[in-house]
Chains A and B, each alone.
Chain A
Amino acid sequence: MGELNTEPAIDAPDDFYAELLAMHEGLSKDESDAINARLILILMNQIADREVLGQAMAAARTPGTV
Chain B
Amino acid sequence: MNKIFEVPLYPYARVADQDADAPVRHAVIVVGAGPVGLAAAIDLAQAGHQVVVLDDNDKVSWGSRAVCYAKRPLEILDRLGCGQPMVDKGVVWNRGRVFYDEREVYDFDLLPEEGHRRPAFINLQQYYFEQHLVDRARALEADGAPIELRGGNKVASIDAGADRVTLQVETPDGAYTVQADWVIACDGAASPIRAMMGLDFVGRVFEDNFLIADVVMEAGFPTERWFWFDPPFNRGQSALLHKQPDNVWRIDLQLGWDIDKEEEKKPENVIPRLKAMLGEDAQFELEWVSIYTFQCRRMEKFRHGRVLFAGDAAHQVSPFGARGANSGLQDTDNLCWKLGLVMDGKAPESLLDSYDEERIRGADENILNSTRSTDFITPKSDMSRIFRNAVLDLSEHYAFARPLVNSGRLSVPCVYDGSSLNGADALDGGPDRSRPGAPCPDAPLGNGFLLDRLGGGFALLTIDVDAPETIDMHGITSNRVAMSARDDPSGALAERYLGSASGAVYLIRPDQHVAARWPSYDEAAVKAAITSATGRA
**A interface, CB within 8 angstroms of B:** 5-10, 13-14, 17-18, 20-21, 24-25, 27, 29, 32, 59, 63-64
- Docked-complex contact B381 and A24, CB < 8 angstroms: yes
Q: Does B369 contact A (CB under 8 A)?
A: yes
Known: A6-B397, A24-B384, A29-B382. 8 other contacts (CB 8 A): A6-B400, A8-B403, A14-B409, A17-B372, A20-B387, A21-B383, A29-B383, A63-B398
Known: A14-B406, A63-B394. A7 touches B399 (CB 8 A): yes
Point out the residues of chain A lying under 8 angstroms from B404, CB to CB: 13, 17
Known: A5-B400, A14-B369. A32 touches B383 (CB 8 A): yes
In residues 382-438 of chain B, which contact A (Cβ within 8 Å)? Answer: 382-384, 387, 391, 393-394, 396-400, 402-404, 406, 409
Q: Which 4 A-B pairs have the closest CB atoms?
A: A6-B398, A64-B397, A13-B403, A24-B383
Point out the residues of chain B lying under 8 angstroms from A20, CB to CB: 387
Q: Which residue of A lies closest to B375 (CB)?
A: A21
CA gap between A10 and B403 in the complex, in Å? 9
**B interface, CB within 8 angstroms of A:** 369, 372, 375-376, 381-384, 387, 391, 393-394, 396-400, 402-404, 406, 409
- Docked-complex contact B400 and A9, CB < 8 angstroms: yes
CB proximity of A34 to chain B, nearest CB, Å: 12
Q: List 18 A-B contacts (CB under 8 A).
A: A5-B400, A6-B398, A6-B399, A7-B400, A14-B409, A17-B376, A17-B387, A17-B391, A17-B404, A24-B384, A25-B381, A29-B382, A29-B383, A59-B394, A59-B397, A63-B393, A63-B397, A63-B398
Q: Point out the residue from B369, B384, B393, B402 that lies within 8 Å of A21, measured CB to CB.
A: B384
CB proximity of B61 to chain A, nearest CB, Å: 30
CA gap between A18 and B393 in the complex, in Å? 19
Q: Taking each of A9, A18, A21, A64, which has the highest tally of chain B beta carbons within 10 Å of its own beta carbon?
A: A21
CB proximity of A3 to chain B, nearest CB, Å: 13
CA gap between A13 and B399 in the complex, in Å? 13
CB proximity of A58 to chain B, nearest CB, Å: 11
CB proximity of A18 to chain B, nearest CB, Å: 6
CA gap between A14 and B407 in the complex, in Å? 12
Point out the residues of chain B lying under 8 angstroms from A32, CB to CB: 382-383
CA gap between A64 and B280 in the complex, in Å? 34
CB proximity of A15 to chain B, nearest CB, Å: 9
Point out the residues of chain B lying under 8 angstroms from A8, CB to CB: 399-400, 402-403
Point out the residues of chain A lying under 8 angstroms from B393, CB to CB: 63
Point out the residues of chain A lying under 8 angstroms from B384, CB to CB: 21, 24
Point out the residues of chain A lying under 8 angstroms from B383, CB to CB: 21, 24, 27, 29, 32
CA gap between A29 and B369 in the complex, in Å? 26
Point out the residues of chain B lying under 8 angstroms from A5, CB to CB: 400
CA gap between A8 and B382 in the complex, in Å? 25
Point out the residues of chain A lying under 8 angstroms from B387, CB to CB: 17, 20-21
- Docked-complex contact A18 and B372, CB < 8 angstroms: yes
CB proximity of A57 to chain B, nearest CB, Å: 14
Point out the residues of chain B lying under 8 angstroms from A13, CB to CB: 403-404
Q: Which residue of B lies closest to A5 (CB)?
A: B400
Q: Which residue of A lies closest to B393 (CB)?
A: A63
